[in-house]
Amino acid sequence: MAGTGKAHLRATGAVLRAEDLVVEFPLRGGKRVHAVSGVDFDLLPGETLALVGESGSGKSTIAKAIVQLEKPTAGHVLFEGDDLTGLRAGALRQVRSRLQMVFQDPVASLNPWREVLDIIAEPLQIWGRGTRREQREAARTAMRSVGLDPETIGRRHASELSGGQCQRVSIARALMLEPRVVICDEPVAALDVSVQAQILNLLSDLKTQLSLSMLFISHDLAVVRMVSDRVMVMYLGKICEVASAASLYEAPGHPYTAMLLSSIPRLGKASTAPRYGLGTEIPSPVDPPSGCRFRTRCPLATARCANEEPVLREIADDHYVACHHADTPIPSKTDARPPAVLLP
């Protein structure tokens, strides 16, 4: 169940930390879209934190708020000791060189009429690092690091590349300034399954080679399992569960997480575990439910859930859940209380 709390935050050592992050968008008539509502998280050096949840849960909004593409309504984003929410434009620009982003649509994020070598070398050109010859040589090295041949691909335009090649170019460009943190916003969602595996393996290798910290955003829990050290599950702008990847997949403590995991397609022999559907659509972020925001779709919801917002609490080592009924098994019978739907 979606809730609040800071029990999951580590005391020291975080390279990136969000505190009480709120992002709202005004509408006509005085209403507001509650995209992100009081979210806290941290990211340690060399760690990959995955943000997962359905579309509309606030994952991409958090990514944009971190790099200040969307100004937070309230809260703080701390990066290497700097509060990004209070920096002026010039100081923020300096910080962004160490905080890079790979966007969801690999084709739309590149200029289709520029040559690949120029696209990758552009960050160095903007910051005036090295001569033009050094910049292009660095771009060639970056291309090789992401599995692209600079001799055959470097002079092509982005419009001539496949989606997988465009995403490799985006990754190479993001690494040119040697960032400390890379934010990957659904980096494989628009790619074929075989290409997804290549990009995920590439990101894993680069993380190890360059000691990167990564914030990996996805709605696909099967993908997240391959790349993440820690997972944060979100629902309608709130945190449901935070745990190590191993703990979360082996023993999810939250009804929403369990339902998401049961929806992962599986090949071969059918699983004997019950599969749960989420039933109705996610509620409107303009008028989110009171108390626990997941209660309108939860098979465990009670009157307490409508009146009291759950707080993140530790249920196992480094495993935190925001749910009043985290210790209650999810019903597996067809007569489970609505609105949750049990799939056959």
pLDDT of residue 343: 35
- 3-state DSSP: the chain helix, strand, coil percent, rounded to 5? 35, 25, 45
Q: Which of 131, 205, 218 is nearest to 175 (CA)?
A: 205
Eight-state DSSP code of residue 263: T
**Residues of the chain falling short of pLDDT 70:** 1-3, 266-280, 330-344
pLDDT of residue 1: 44
Residue at 106: amino acid letter = P
Per the rule left: phi > 0, alpha: psi between -120 and 50, beta: everything else, 279 is left
pLDDT of residue 334: 36
Highest CATH level, class, for 1-98+180-265: alpha beta
pLDDT of residue 335: 38
pLDDT of residue 337: 41
Q: Where are the domains of the chain?
A: 1-98+180-265, 106-178
pLDDT of residue 74: 96
What does pTM read for this prediction? 0.89
pLDDT of residue 12: 87
pLDDT of residue 277: 58
